Amino acid sequence: MHVEVVGRGPPLVLLHGWAMHGGVFAPLVARLRDVHTLHLVDLPGHGLSHDSAVPLALEPCVEAILAQVPVAPWCGWSLGGMFTLHAASTRPHCVPRLALLCANASFVRHDDEPGEAAHLGVSADIFRDFAQGLREDYRGTLDRFVALEAFGSDHQGDELRTLRRDLFARGEPTALALADGLQLLRSVDLRPALPGLRVPSLWLAGRRDRLVPARAMRLAAEHTPAARFEVIEHAGHAPFLTHADAVAARLLDFLAA
């Protein structure tokens, strides 16, 4: 797996979302590189890890990443948050803090369960539809997903242009990795791990995020010991693109606490 290392200071690991790569964090890197050594991971099948033999699954990815990075806090955006949460819950000695950026323990609704949190999230059918779309119109499906990520932000146009520009900046993600990533988003449920999480966590939401509702992240944080929940107002699913100063400030404050 490709891991780019930039900056100086205490280490921090950054994990990107579905179909993207570590380069998408450029605005955040510019604000953090003078105070943290950043380890920017390209997940298997994405970016410069296009030919990685590591399966895009929680345990193999976490094991492979830990073999290449020092003990450090992890920050995961969207799909990357699932790997971050799994790493911290299973190996707290390696991940002493974690930040979830527009990510949650479960991305889909669980309408058959009681309680408010069960109904917050997106329908699993959405991820099934994207999986079907990949087989019929690969590029069109990726473009629709990127549009969904940008929707709601008060800088929606700028965010959409940036995501479209960055999507293939390190090459096209593999079809297998995209399918495996959608399966993770649709099926993984890490909510049972939250009450036992033994490290401090930051849950940073975008108020206008249509993929991971801020209210869902707040409720998850309420079930997690030593959790801090914060919201970036007017932001969508990728606040580090449109509100990079605010995201960097919240991260730095959390890491220094």
Active site residues: 78, 209, 237
Spatial contact of 105 and 124, defined as CB atoms under 8 Å apart: no
> What is the C-alpha to C-alpha distance for residues 195 and 192, in angstroms, rounded to an integer?
7
Tokens 């296009």 map to which residue? 50
Spatial contact of 46 and 3, defined as CB atoms under 8 Å apart: no
With a CB cutoff of 8 Å and minimum separation 6, the contacts of 250 are: 202, 204, 230, 232
* Phi (first) and psi of residue 125, to 5 degrees: -65, -30
DSSP string, 108-165: B--TTSSSGGGG-SB-HHHHHHHHHHHHH-HHHHHHHHHHHHHTT-TTHHHHHHHHHH
With a CB cutoff of 8 Å and minimum separation 6, the contacts of 190 are: 82, 85, 86, 89, 105, 106
Strand 37-41 relative to strand 3-7: parallel, antiparallel, unpaired? Answer: antiparallel
